[in-house]
Structure formats: C-alpha cells, structure tokens
Amino acid sequence: RTPLLAASNLAKIYVSRRGLFAPPTQVRAVDGVSLSLAKGTTLGIVGESGSGKSTTGRLLLGLETPTTGHASFAGEPMPREKTPQWRDLRKRMQLVYQDPLAALDRRLPVGRQIGEPLDIHALGSQQERIARVRELMDAVGLRPDQADRYPHELSGGQRQRVVIARAIACGPELLVCDEPVSALDVSIQAQVVNLLRDLQEKRAIAMVFISHDLKVVRNISDRVAVMYLGRIVEEGASEEIFRKPLHPYTQALVSSIPVPGTALKDRIVLHGEPPNPAARPAGCAFHPRCRFATAQCRAQNPELLDAGSDRKVACHLLGPANVTQRAAEVY
Ligand code: SF4
Ligand code: MG
C-alpha cells in the first residue's frame, strides 16, 4: 500500500555568512531524511533545537524545496514549484505551529478566521459555511459565542484551538504540528495534545507531531523518529522506543523523563555543547556527547540501519550484528 506521506533522502543545505566579510559556509539543516507515514497514523519527530525537525516538517509540506531528495503525498511527488497542483495538495495537508498569535490575524474575529479556508476554496453556501464553523468550533471545544472574539481576547490554549479548527476546516488528510503546545502553560498542554489525538482518531487524520519534548509526543505517536543534527538517529514504534531506547542519544532523552515501564533506571546526563548545525562534528555528529564514542565514531558517520523489531538505529555499536549484545550490556 502506498503510504500517505513518503520522504526519500531529503536534504536541505543553506549557505550562511557569519559576517559581511566572512566566507560563506554550508549549513546542513536536514541531511538525508527518509521516512514514511501510513494513513491516519501519527509520527512523532523529536530532537533538540537545531536538529532539523521544523525544516523537515516544511520540506514534507512542500513549503521548502529540498536541496536533494524528494517527498511525495498520496503517491504524488511534491511539486517543487508553487503550481496549482501544489495548492491543490496543500488543501489536503495543513501546518499547525507553535505560536497561534502569529498564525492569526489580530484584526479579525476568530470565527471568520476559522471559516477563511472555506471561503478561499468556495466550499458550500454562506449558510453552510456558518454551520460548518459552528461545527468546527464545537469539535475543538470552543463555544459559539467565542466566534466574535478577537485573538487577544482568548487564552493561549483557546487561540491554538482556533488555529486547529482552521487547519481542519477543509478536511485535511495530514496535519504537520510543529511544537503545537510548546508556547502553552504546562497545565494546558495535555488538553491540546488530547484534542489533537481525539481529532486524528475521529477524522482519521495522519499527523506529524514535532516536539523537543519526548514526553509530549509519547501519548500521541504510533511511531517516533529521533533527530540529531539533521539526521534521524533512531526510528521505531513509540512504545518500543520508550520501553527500550537503543541509540545512546535516545537513551539520554528517555532517561531524563520519569517514564513508568522503561528499562533505564538512572538519568543519563548529556555533557558537551548542544548541537549546532553550523559546526557539525565529523563522524557520528553525536560523538562529542556520547559516552560510548570510539575512534570509529569520530571518523565515520553511522548509517541508519535496521535493528530488528521494526526499528532503525544509526550507531556503530548498534549495527545489526551488535544490536542484541550491545543492548544487553547497556541494560
Ligand atoms: Fe555514540 Fe558512536 Fe553510536 Fe555515535 S556511533 S551514538 S558516538 S557509539
Ligand atoms: Mg523548530
């Protein structure tokens, strides 16, 4: 079966200059990402800032053009230009990002903004659109009287509900949510995550859920991809990743949150610099922070390889031959 979304070896390289007279340097924001997403399922993408998660999300939506590699949606290649075909595909996939205030127009009541996609795509009569806005507001837990409010008159959580209502207005098959709850109070985060999960179950919307926070993606993801400096370093079924993380970086991330049922008992503290795409270490990019790094790690970048049980890992010590033995030592 054709996956809803597929990406093959996506890379995005920016040329950046640190100063007026400094030589240009290449920054590999995304460096060979392949992934696929089945209809109606959720992939969590996790990593620190600078890991290339947001750029990956934008490449998947065709909002940015990859330097190399390609993405496809429902079997159709993502157009590289903003053609009518691209606009047509874009109706079927929507982006929800961190800051709802930036996503909304301060001068328009939120009900109008929820209905905007219906107006743009001329879906239904005026009466039908009004009824649809009501239904959408109900679906995201907003009251009908809130339709006439302006964004600043709502709370952060309510504003994100408005953004989500607008994103699902045209019945998309895919939502890419980029840190959708990071700007919200911790007490509100779970409510919005639950809303997204609820919507994706009821409406069979596939979702890419991007977060720096592993515990946020846990409850919503069927599969999880962990990114480090532009690459996926581990990918697998969500429960398995939490139960038994294999990559040393994933182990550190999982160990930092209290998760019942995980095999890791002690917190692994990461030392060294946080990842900086403009100064990418040679070999395995994680080696300066890895407690298992060897000479091979400093010289050679590990490939993302099958590690059994529907899992992929990019680590020299966890290649297919070593995986069982090494995992046994770690635990
Ligand atoms: Fe650590 Fe080496 Fe594995 Fe990289 S390849 S994660 S440095 S053990
Ligand atoms: Mg980001």
Assess whether the C-beta atom of 224 lies below 6 angstroms from ligand 1.
no
User: Bridge-partner residues for 45, per DSSP?
Assistant: 210, 225
pLDDT at 119: 87
pLDDT digits (tens, 9 = 90+) for 138-178: 999 999 999 999 999 999 999 999 999 999 999 999 999 99
The pLDDT-based confidence of 85 (bands split at 50, 70, 90) is confident
Beta pairing, strands 174-178 & 206-211? parallel
Which of 294, 304, 329, when mutated, tests ligand 1's pocket best, judged by the most ligand atoms within 8 Å of its CB? Answer: 294
- Give, as residue ranges, everything with CB less than 5 Å from ion ligand 2: 54
pLDDT at 233: 97
Assess whether the C-beta atom of 248 lies below 6 angstroms from ligand 1.
yes
Which of 228, 280, 317, when mutated, tests ligand 1's pocket best, judged by the most ligand atoms within 8 Å of its CB? Answer: 317
Does the pLDDT of residue 41 top 50, yes or no? yes
pLDDT at 9: 97
pTM attached to this predicted model: 0.91
pLDDT at 293: 94
pLDDT digits (tens, 9 = 90+) for 86-108: 888 888 999 998 888 889 999 99
Q: ipTM value of the model?
A: 0.97
Domains of the chain: 5-92+172-241 (3.40.50.300)
User: Quick one: CA dihedral 211, 214, 218, 221, positive or negative?
Assistant: positive
Are 225 and 234 in contact by the 8 Å Cβ rule? The answer is yes
Query: Which residue in 26, 30, 38 sits closest to 10, CA to CA?
Result: 30
Give 315 Cα–ligand 1 centroid separation in angstroms. Answer: 5
